[in-house]
A = this chain, B = another copy of it.
Amino acid sequence: MISSIPSKTVFHAIERTIKQYRKFAQKNISNAVNDITIDQAMVLAFLEKHPDLTQKEIAALVFKDNASMTRMINLMVTKKQLTRSINTLNRRRFNLEITLKGKQVLEKLGPIVQDNRKKALDGVTEEELIQLESILEKIASNCK
């Protein structure tokens, strides 16, 4: 007996919101660039800012596990968005490098990603954003 039905909880609202945003963003991305997912785009974006990230670190940044990241990066390598080479200083790691094609994807995606975020947050005030982040942070840290 689960007295309060799941659809009435705030967790349901959180889930709904992020899924809706992902669908919306993915649709707009797919209209501009072929064959790239939001998560792959995020991997590229993180690597652009921090070229020395390991697979494990990227996985943590996009909330995935190492196994998923291995497979995602395999795909991105076969799609020529990334290259992978052994790091000679620590042979357990890989150097990941964004290819020219990957850079072009990032270039095209930039304005679209910005626009997605802007549209999704239309009518949300700066103050609300701060509240939102602070409440979410509270919940997340309760779940540790």
Decide yes or no whether A86 CB sits under 8 A from chain B.
no
Among the 9-residue stretches A73-81, A87-95, A128-136, the one with 4 or more Cβ atoms under 8 Å from chain B is A128-136
In the bound complex, what is the Cα–Cα distance between A98 and B48 (angstroms)?
50
Chain A positions 94-141 with a Cβ under 8 Å from a chain B Cβ:
106-107, 109-110, 113-114, 117, 119-124, 128-129, 131-133, 135-140
Identical subunits present: 2
Does A13 contact B138, Cβ atoms closer than 8 Å?
Answer: no
A20-B143 CB under 8 A given contacts A2-B45, A113-B2: yes
In the bound complex, what is the Cα–Cα distance between A63 and B121 (angstroms)?
21
Scoring A49, A107, A139, A140 by chain B CB atoms within 10 A of each residue's CB, the highest score goes to A139
Decide yes or no whether A85 CB sits under 8 A from chain B.
no
Q: How far is the CB of A94 from chain B (nearest CB, A)?
A: 21
